[in-house]
């Protein structure tokens, strides 16, 4: 009976090492750090082991290997011989009883080692990785210190082999945007977050990868005041404008001098006066069109007027960026004009999509599951089509890109207004 108890103990000990290995490797370091900050016992030890996986894995491997050797030797020498004697007692010939006895013992030990020593502990570890990691980490830390010389030798040997192979033993722990999007999709499916929340989080991730020219209001859609115009014309523009702020130039749009807050002139306009507009012009930051959108947001937060004047490398005025443009990039566009009430993308019954030419190309790529190059010279669907065609298109022209056919179905002058995206059929 003692022999059986020893065998079960060794299998259970193997299970403890397997449980510890998968729990600490699977535990998220961010959650372990949060648990440690909250004073959870064992969390700091678990975080220390997770931060040095080479040393920890060497400790686990030593334990599992020694247990395997002991279990094999014990089962063969003790239990195998005992079962052989039992089989002989039942009248089986000795030359047949020995293989039967040892075979049954080895089979049973192997089965129990796989189920109790591996599968059950690992499945248990996956269900609550951080909690179990906190429980087992103090014990694993003690084992690691007890076997420090052997652990160091194994860890150093592993690192040496990696160096000889021209690689590094350090794990690639960086989390990519794609992994975050997949996690959000799983959270939405599980009901943890709502669809609109996922879309806004995706918008924030996209914003971090965009230059300001991808979110600005382009020059063709910007209304501005020219101080060289006569007073009557300026007054008419101010009364007719729907904007609360307007950029102000002096003779040429490439000579922007600042921004005007229309509400500051409202009292004088209501009284029929024509105020001196130059006196109300405030300084507005000038930013390059390649500036990161997040950097532009910080510039807007510190600006006298929340409007940035975007210029290209040659000093030409390209457009304006406002907090509303940043919000549009995160939460989606707010369009009040009937002429602009068109959606960015419309799914059709045949699997194709009708796209607005001004739709941000990264949003389109996410919808159509297209991989775009990280460095590109275009920021909209229209830019993608022109980049593929290499010329300004005519209505009806098509280009095949990333497994999709993009057809120009409507032009507004020279601007691409509507594009039809159709998946290309893979020949069978």
pLDDT given at position 407: 93
Q: For residue 105, is it within any domain?
A: yes
Q: Domain count for the chain, please give it.
A: 4
Same structural domain, 56 and 130: yes
Same structural domain, 311 and 229: yes
Same structural domain, 104 and 199: no
Q: Output the pTM of the full model.
A: 0.59
Same structural domain, 287 and 375: no
Same structural domain, 264 and 120: no
Same structural domain, 275 and 324: yes
Report how far apart, in Å, the C-alpha atoms of 277 and of each of 23, 223, 247 are: 68, 16, 12
Tens-place pLDDT, residues 374-383: 788 888 899 9
- Answer for the pair 105, 87: CB distance below 8 angstroms, yes or no: no
The three-point CA angle 402-408-409 to 5° equals: 135
Domain that holds residue 396: 342-423
Q: Which DSSP symbol is given to 296?
A: H
Tens-place pLDDT, residues 93-129: 777 777 777 777 777 777 888 888 888 888 888 888 8
**Tokens 């945007």, residue?**
177
Q: For residue 370, is it within any domain?
A: yes
Q: For residue 172, is it within any domain?
A: no
Report how far apart, in Å, the C-alpha atoms of 257 and of each of 247, 249, 262, 287, 318 are: 8, 5, 16, 13, 14
Q: With pLDDT > 70 as the criterion, what percentage of the chain qualifies? A: 88
Q: For residue 410, is it within any domain?
A: yes
Q: For residue 139, is it within any domain?
A: yes
> Using DSSP, how many helices (H) and how many strands (E) does the chain show?
18, 12
Q: Of the candidates 273, 304, 331, which is a domain's last residue?
A: 331
Same structural domain, 97 and 194: no
Rounded to an integer, the average pLDDT of 241-263 is 89
Same structural domain, 242 and 200: no
- How far apart, in whole angstroms, are the C-alpha atoms of residue 280 and residue 262? 9
Q: For residue 135, is it within any domain?
A: yes
pLDDT given at position 421: 93
Instruction: Output 289 or 175, whichever has higher pLDDT.
Output: 289
pLDDT given at position 409: 92
Same structural domain, 56 and 98: yes
* Res 183 pLDDT > 50: yes
- Answer for the pair 218, 261: CB distance below 8 angstroms, yes or no: no
Which helix (H) or strand (E) is 188 found in, with range?
helix 177-189
Same structural domain, 81 and 6: yes
Q: Of the candidates 312, 331, 350, which is a domain's last residue?
A: 331
- How far apart, in whole angstroms, are the C-alpha atoms of residue 213 and residue 296? 10
Same structural domain, 268 and 317: yes
Q: For residue 336, is it within any domain?
A: no
Looking at residue 246, which CATH number applies to its domain? 3.10.580.10
Same structural domain, 12 and 88: yes
- Answer for the pair 223, 246: CB distance below 8 angstroms, yes or no: yes
């Amino acid at each position: 009976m003692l022999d059986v108890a020893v065998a079960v103990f060794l299998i259970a000990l193997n299970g403890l090492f397997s449980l510890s290995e998968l729990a600490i490797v699977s535990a998220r370091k961010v959650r372990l750090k949060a648990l440690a900050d909250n004073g959870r016992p064992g969390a700091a030890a678990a975080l220390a082991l997770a931060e040095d996986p080479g040393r920890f894995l060497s400790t686990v491997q030593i334990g599992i290997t020694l247990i395997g050797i002991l279990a094999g030797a014990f089962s063969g020498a003790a239990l195998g011989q005992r079962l052989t004697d039992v089989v002989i007692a039942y009248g089986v010939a000795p030359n047949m009883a020995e293989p039967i006895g040892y075979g049954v013992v080895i089979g049973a030990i192997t089965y129990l080692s796989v189920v109790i020593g591996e599968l059950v502990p690992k499945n248990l570890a996956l269900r609550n990785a951080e909690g179990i990691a906190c429980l087992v980490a103090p014990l694993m830390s003690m084992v690691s210190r007890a076997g420090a010389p052997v652990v160091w030798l194994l860890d150093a040997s592993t690192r040496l082999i990696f160096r000889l192979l021209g690689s590094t033993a350090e794990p690639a722990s960086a989390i990519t945007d794609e992994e975050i999007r997949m996690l959000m999709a799983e959270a939405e499916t599980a009901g943890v977050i709502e669809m609109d929340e996922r879309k806004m989080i995706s918008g924030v991730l996209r914003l971090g990868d965009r230059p300001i020219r991808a979110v600005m209001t382009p020059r063709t859609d910007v209304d501005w005041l020219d101080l060289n115009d006569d007073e009557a014309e300026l007054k008419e523009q101010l009364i007719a404008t729907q904007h609360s702020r307007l950029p102000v130039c002096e003779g040429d749009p490439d000579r922007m001098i600042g921004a005007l807050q229309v509400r500051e002139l409202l009292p004088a306009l209501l009284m029929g006066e024509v105020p001196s507009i130059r006196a109300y012009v405030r300084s507005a930051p000038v930013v390059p069109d390649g500036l990161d959108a997040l950097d532009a947001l910080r510039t807007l937060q510190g600006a006298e007027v929340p409007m940035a004047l975007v210029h290209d490398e040659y000093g030409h005025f390209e457009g304006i960026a406002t907090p509303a443009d940043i919000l549009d990039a995160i939460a989606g566009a707010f369009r009040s004009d009937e002429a602009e009430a068109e959606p960015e993308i419309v799914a059709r019954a045949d699997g194709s999509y009708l796209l607005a030419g001004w739709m941000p190309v990264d949003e389109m790529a996410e919808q159509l599951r297209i991989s775009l190059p990280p460095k590109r010279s275009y920021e909209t669907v229209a830019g993608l089509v022109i980049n593929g065609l290499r010329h300004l298109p005519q209505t009806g022209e098509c280009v095949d890109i990333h497994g999709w056919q993009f057809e120009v179905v409507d032009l507004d002058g020279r601007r691409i207004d509507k594009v039809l995206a159709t998946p290309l059929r893979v020949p069978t």
